[in-house]
Structure 1
Amino acid sequence: MVLELSERKLRSLELAGGYWTDDGLSARARWRHSNLFKRGRGMGVEVSYTQYKQSGSAVAWWPAIFMARLRGTLRVGYDNISEDSFDKTGPGIGLGLSISHTRRMKSSIWYVIEMAKYDIKTTEKEYFKDPEGPVGFFEYRLIRDGTDDRVNPTRGTYSSFRVEYGPKGGVSNSDHFIVEASGTAHFPLADRLGLAANLRLGSGTPTASSEVLLPDKRFYAGGSTTHRGFNRRKLGPLDENGLPLGGEVMMTGFVELRFPLFWKLDGAAFVDAGQIWRTHGDFTWDNIEIAVGPAVRILTPVGPLRFDLGFRLTDYEPSEPSYAFHFAIGYPM
């Protein structure tokens, strides 16, 4: 056996674009240099666009900053977020450390400061408040990917865990505590026949003197990756104009049977369930929304093209349509 080694390009430019029903048209451009000053440091510049978010950022990183598998990262960016019920615009800066524990598991911890301005569009303004100043928070994230294929998994598990804490005082005008966890399991049954199941849980609460969670700290669901019986962010509390309010508690999940059709076409049948509750006191098992539906997938090298049609079996939000169509790339995780 003969191996030929070649030096990796130090500079790279990536351009990407696409369309899916959740975010509409999207585009991204990213430039990176992976060996600044010939010392292994790196930096990059990225701009991205979707219907709901436009971002620009500069990132610098330092591999093996204190130990071999520890990497330090500094990010400076500007975000313009335009959701149905609020807008958020402003710069931010973050400092993070990430570590690869094993080939399949990694974690990171960040401290982020945002100087954003909020424009509240919903009529129920008591649930959405502008902090009128900077917001600082810590975030810890743990990810384990035990699947056999990142693009088209058929066996194994994928799990993630996130904790975010924003202490009030010092540089921050708002405080909160958020915990979120998600797990997906894949079970092979035969050639291209398999079962996938997912559960996602989230809980957030304002702490200290804050009365409500900031609009972008609340949980939202509905769409191709959370609940396919609803359009994007339409699961859960809505105001009198049908704008999503999000909530402090989230629970969603799905069970999906995947099977071959012909050529590079696969089919699927799914059951999605879940709900968003405005506050912890509103939580109840009595209003879980359930949807079922068929799906068609076109297998490609970059992941399956998904066409999902969800029909609601429950009707706890009668103002919303009884079905929803979704197009996306990749499997929901």
Structure 2
Amino acid sequence: MQVKAGWYWTYVLALFCSACAIKPSTVAEPDSEPRLPEVRTITFQGNAHFSRWSLLGVLATKPRSAFSPWKRGEPYNPATVETDLRRLKKFYFERGYLEMSARLEAVREDPEANAVDMDIRIEEGEPTLVTAVDITGTFPLGIPSKNRLLGSLVLRVGQPINKADFDQSQAILLSHLQHAGYARAQVTPRTEVDPQAHTAHVSWDLKPGARTRLGEIRITGAKQVRERAIRRQLTLREGQLYSPKALEKTTGNIYALGMFQAVNPQARNLGEANAPLDIDIAVRERQQRTFQFGLGFSTIDSLRLQIEWIHRNLFQGAESLSLSAKASGVEQGMEVRLNLPYVLVERMSFTQTLFATNHQKLELAPFDRLDELFNIEDPFPAFDLLTTGGRSRLGYQLAENLTSWVGLELSRNDFREVDIDALEASEEEIAKDNTLLLQFAELQWDTSDDLLNPTQGWLMRGRFEHSYASVLSDASFVKLLLEMRYYRPLRRHTVLAGRLMIGSIQPYGESDEVPLNVRFFSGGPGSVRGFAINRLGPLDQNGDPIGGNSLIEGNLEWRFPIVRNLGGAIFIDFGQVFDQSFTYHFNQLRFAAGPGFRFNTPVGPLRLDAGFIIDSRADEPFGRVEFSIGQAF
């Protein structure tokens, strides 16, 4: 059994240990060489198009940081400085300034402080502009027209010739050829530069070769998982036309089994023209059994503790069994889950879950102080709810990007701390204890490129639920929820993301209302930011949310990089919950907007959003700051 701590606290512990590490002291010998002076400051002169911070990032010679004044700068070494000047020239050259020059203007010494201050003079020169972009060679079947290909390139006429855009444009052309089945295609660039006019003519020559079919597909590295279980996840077949998308999908399917640390597909005979392409899929297995724990924080849950034991390979077919428990300031629960990736036929899976969840805000001193500091709200202040039950779900992959699920969920829902006096007489039924047997069906079409941080593609899904009072349930209703997400990459690694969700619940038969645990709620960091969790929609007489039978939400967000793993976002959200079924009053929609920051981590981006209510009312705050993990959508 392998024990793993949560990634966050492992990282914090590593930082703590590195900060507290004790290094053995050294005593300088009388005849030892004197210490090189530190570089205290570096000043750039003549840099009109790039900031000082951008240029400092290129250098190996780093001055003393203003943010860490207790740390010394790099030692002054003339040989390293000469290399840095060449790095600066390369930096400018790759951004279209082909005649740039850099020299060390001055080095001012301070013998008492054993430090130097450096001045670097930059002559940027004129940028070399792209005056023409062309594509030549063979345009085979299956790829877009020449005009559409030119339109897809990021290197554009009128802009400085930029190596990043140049390389990305070449990769785009090669991708089009490979996705059309030309695995051995070549894209040869050609650039004609006029140094006198500072212009460049760029072209790429397409050499697709013959369409490639797949040969032998081998799987290597599997010791604990049967090869047959891995092959069930393949979307590739011998004799099939080569497809990078199918290869990527296969890799993702094998990863999704949960038993592999790495899945690496490689072509064995890429250099053999016209031969079927043989593929090796090398896998590296994980430990079969692990125990994990994690501690986190968000402005929804406050402090959150989670522990989990998991067996990933029960019967040597990547079948998994997990036992988990979680506790936070607003929710506590336990879950047992059995997942079978293969049932009856290929592409069919089965999951059985037993669960117990308690929605109750804990009144404990640590939580109270955090709640006050971060303005954490109770998601369901009108009631506490204990839910126990089980869920059986059968999944089937209908097509490459289309998946369906059907199942049953039986639950017992017991309400506590309900203020009946705050409800209208017609609403008292919604807070009664109930037993529900749900029959549900889901359909999802997903072409997005990443589960945690998508940058392009569509995700559309729908869920249908039904409960009938004569079959174990205490209420009769149908519930429909539809969601659409779209991600579009823009220039300079920015992404435009949009989301629209609409749903409704219709009671029927002898049921006039649906229970609180079935109704829609809106507001919060994963919904309409700026509003507290679940605070958007119908309220009881105490001003607490009681949900409704119809929901509409929408989000539009522009995501952009700032520096390294830090990114930013600007968003506008809208939404509303309505009491009646299939009722949407667009003049009652509420809007919020604001900025946000994202810090990318291996488990998804850490997210900080400041949402401001556009039409704020007298009895509500103007907005909220929310901290959580994962994109909003």
Taking structure 1 as the reference length, the TM-score comes to: 0.91
Asked whether the equivalents of residues 14 and 31 of structure 1 are also in contact (C-alpha less than 8 Å), the reply is yes
Are 2:402 and 1:124 equivalent residues in the alignment? no
SS of the counterpart of 2:490? Answer: strand
Which residue in the other structure is 1:175 paired with?
476
Match of 1:324 among 617, 624, 630: 624
2: CA distance, partners of 1:60 / 1:296: 37
1: CA distance, partners of 2:296 / 2:465: 30
Are 2:411 and 1:114 equivalent residues in the alignment? yes
Deviation at 1:246, TM superposition (A): 0.9
Which residue in the other structure is 2:287 paired with?
9
Which residue in the other structure is 1:161 paired with?
462
Q: Which has the higher contact order (CA 8 A, sep 6+)?
A: 1
Please list, as runs of the form range in 1=range in 2, the aligned pairs for 1:227-306 lying within 5 A after superposition: 227-280=528-581, 283-306=584-607
Deviation at 1:41, TM superposition (A): 4.5
Deviation at 1:294, TM superposition (A): 1.4
Which residue in the other structure is 1:53 paired with?
331
2: CA distance, partners of 1:241 / 1:201: 27
Which residue in the other structure is 1:142 paired with?
443
User: Percentage identity across aligned positions?
Assistant: 27
Which residue in the other structure is 1:196 paired with?
497
2: CA distance, partners of 1:45 / 1:96: 18
Distance change >3 Å, CA 49–CA 160, structure 1 → 2:
farther
Larger Rg: 2
Which residue in the other structure is 2:74 paired with?
none
Are 2:381 and 1:84 equivalent residues in the alignment? yes
Deviation at 1:121, TM superposition (A): 3.6
Asked whether the equivalents of residues 550 and 582 of structure 2 are also in contact (C-alpha less than 8 Å), the reply is no
Which residue in the other structure is 1:74 paired with?
352
2: CA distance, partners of 1:164 / 1:3: 40
Q: AA paired with 1:73? A: T
1: CA distance, partners of 2:460 / 2:298: 24
Which residue in the other structure is 1:211 paired with?
512
Deviation at 1:131, TM superposition (A): 4.6
**Unmatched 5+ residue regions in structure 2?**
1-267, 269-279, 361-379
Does 66-75 or 124-133 show the bigger shift?
A: 124-133
Deviating above 6 A after TM superposition, structure 1's stretches of 4 or more consecutive aligned residues are: none
Which residue in the other structure is 2:186 paired with?
none
Distance change >3 Å, CA 256–CA 11, structure 1 → 2:
same
Q: AA paired with 2:547? A: G
2: CA distance, partners of 1:300 / 1:212: 44
Deviation at 1:329, TM superposition (A): 1.4
Asked whether the equivalents of residues 549 and 582 of structure 2 are also in contact (C-alpha less than 8 Å), the reply is no
Which residue in the other structure is 1:62 paired with?
340
2: CA distance, partners of 1:194 / 1:309: 19
2: CA distance, partners of 1:9 / 1:77: 26
Q: AA paired with 1:107? A: S
Distance change >3 Å, CA 5–CA 187, structure 1 → 2:
closer
Asked whether the equivalents of residues 382 and 545 of structure 2 are also in contact (C-alpha less than 8 Å), the reply is yes
Which residue in the other structure is 2:611 paired with?
310
Match of 1:43 among 318, 321, 337: 321
Please list, as runs of the form range in 1=range in 2, the aligned pairs for 1:13-28 lying within 5 A after superposition: 13-28=291-306
Asked whether the equivalents of residues 84 and 121 of structure 1 are also in contact (C-alpha less than 8 Å), the reply is no
Distance change >3 Å, CA 50–CA 161, structure 1 → 2:
farther
SS of the counterpart of 2:587? Answer: helix
Q: AA paired with 1:91? A: T
Give the aligned CA root-mean-square deviation in angstroms. 2.3
Does 215-224 or 235-244 show the bigger shift?
A: 235-244
Distance change >3 Å, CA 94–CA 4, structure 1 → 2:
closer
Structure with the largest fraction of helix:
2
Distance change >3 Å, CA 5–CA 331, structure 1 → 2:
closer
2: CA distance, partners of 1:16 / 1:104: 32
Q: AA paired with 2:407? A: W
Distance change >3 Å, CA 65–CA 131, structure 1 → 2:
farther
Taking structure 2 as the reference length, the TM-score comes to: 0.49
How many pairs align? Answer: 332
Asked whether the equivalents of residues 131 and 173 of structure 1 are also in contact (C-alpha less than 8 Å), the reply is no
Which residue in the other structure is 2:135 paired with?
none
Map Cα deviations across residues 216-265 of structure 1 (whole Å, 9 max, x no partner): 11111111111012111111122232211111111110111222323332
Does 48-57 or 232-241 show the bigger shift?
A: 48-57
